[in-house]
Amino acid sequence: MKSAWKHKDLIAIRPLDAAEIALLHDTARAFKEVLSRPIKKVPSLRGKTVINLFVEPSTRTRTSFELAAKRLSADVVSIASESSSFKKGETLKDTGLNLQAMNSDIIILRHPAAGAPQFLAERLKAGVINAGDGAHEHPTQALLDTFTILEKLGNVSAPPDKKLAGIKIAIVGDILFSRVARSDIWAMTKLGAEVTLVGPTTLLPDTFRELGVKVSHRIDDVLAEAHVIMLLRIQHERQKQQLFPSLGEYVSLFGLTHERFKRCRPDVLIMHPGPINRGVEIASELADGVNSVILQQVSNGLAVRMAALYLLTGGNGPQGVNS
Ligand code: CP
């Protein structure tokens, strides 16, 4: 069977359809099995070159992509902007062209400017994966988030657009500046989930309703029904001004505290893309508690990123992962 993957790049979830998301998930599931073996490596990307180009800090995404490429037997190089020729004024286009001139097959880009990965993708023959661009999108984060929800609560054998049907997901926090929220909204709704966004009015404008989600400014109104609560960090680095009076007030109005947790479903899944600000968006013990799947999200990220690298380099879907 031929792979149904049709794209040179992975820039955003928005243009993907549910079947393409399901293909990425199915392929990730096959790679998760590979990762459970004593020898966690396949030759799928032998002879391919993957470049990790990170112009913003990262722990999870950068390490995960690097490990994913290594597990697929690719040659992988990671470049941090502080030690690159960006510091000498080289443009993103020139950096990309020079990396491509070294026969790179895939360039993974994290950048503070929304649109930077698309800009590069339009100028290179190499595939480009967006590892997070400004407040635009973070597609592999949404893929690993939905993969984790699907694994715990979804219906894997349902049609792609119904795999998360009936699942109520609350995304809480700084929605306005969150690329994770945007990618999650697209991925979750395409798979049939019912998404409610929760946050202060300054961080959650009503225009988000246009994305097919509900908007609430009271976390207490969503706790009892949510099957999944996704907490988001306040993105101070993207905010030009203080958008709420104090962290203390934010915690009292929007933090997932022990008191609020008592009003949640007993089986609620607690998720967070990381990095966590313990004691702010989530009580520290809840981040480590039995309802938390935060570290499972991280583990699943490796399989999801293997799937993305594999499909973008011509991989043949889940049935081909061992070849
Ligand atoms: N979730 C995420 O993007 O984490 P990093 O910033 O550590 O990559």
pLDDT, residue 240, reads 60
State how beta strands 228-231 and 168-172 pair. parallel
Mean pLDDT confidence for 72-90: 93
How many angstroms is it from 283 CA to the middle of ligand 1? Answer: 20
Q: What residue owns the CA closest to ligand 1's atom 5?
A: 58
**Closest by CA position to 6, among listed 19, 173, 14:** 19
Q: Any bridge partners for residue 53, and if so which? A: 79, 109
For a pLDDT cut of 90, what percent of the chain falls above it?
89
Mean pLDDT confidence for 162-189: 97
Each residue's pLDDT tens digit, 219-232: 999 999 999 999 99
Instruction: Give the confidence band of 3 by pLDDT, cuts at 50, 70, 90.
Output: low
Mean pLDDT confidence for 57-69: 97
Residue 105 CA to residue 286 CA, distance in Å, equals 41
One-letter amino acid of 127: G
Q: Which atom of ligand 1 is nearest the CA belonging to 131? A: 3
Same fold, 18-138+300-320 and 139-297: yes
Q: Could you tell which of 59, 136, 138 is best to mutate to test the pocket of ligand 1, judged by most ligand atoms within 8 Å of the CB? A: 59
Q: Which atom of ligand 1 is nearest the CA belonging to 63? A: 8
Each residue's pLDDT tens digit, 37-58: 999 999 999 999 999 999 999 9
Instruction: Give the confidence band of 33 by pLDDT, cuts at 50, 70, 90.
Output: very high
* CB 292 near ligand 1, within 6 Å: no
* CB 58 near ligand 1, within 6 Å: yes
Q: Could you tell which of 54, 58, 66, 182 is best to mutate to test the pocket of ligand 1, judged by most ligand atoms within 8 Å of the CB? A: 58
Instruction: Give the confidence band of 323 by pLDDT, cuts at 50, 70, 90.
Output: low
pLDDT, residue 1, reads 47
For a pLDDT cut of 70, what percent of the chain falls above it?
96
Q: Is the pLDDT of residue 236 over 90?
A: no
56 CB-near residues (< 8 Å, 6+ apart): 81, 110, 111, 112, 132
pLDDT, residue 248, reads 87
Q: Which atom of ligand 1 is nearest the CA belonging to 57? A: 6
pLDDT, residue 238, reads 63
The CATH topology of domain 139-297 is: Rossmann fold (3.40.50)
Mean pLDDT confidence for 194-208: 96
Each residue's pLDDT tens digit, 110-129: 999 999 999 999 999 999 99
* Contact status, residue 5 vs residue 284, Cβ threshold 8 Å: no
Domain 18-138+300-320: give its CATH code: 3.40.50.1370
Instruction: Give the confidence band of 239 by pLDDT, cuts at 50, 70, 90.
Output: low
Query: Domains of the chain: which residue ranges?
Result: 18-138+300-320, 139-297
Looking at every residue in the chain, the average pLDDT score rounds to 95
* CB 274 near ligand 1, within 6 Å: yes
pLDDT, residue 241, reads 67
Instruction: Give the confidence band of 310 by pLDDT, cuts at 50, 70, 90.
Output: very high
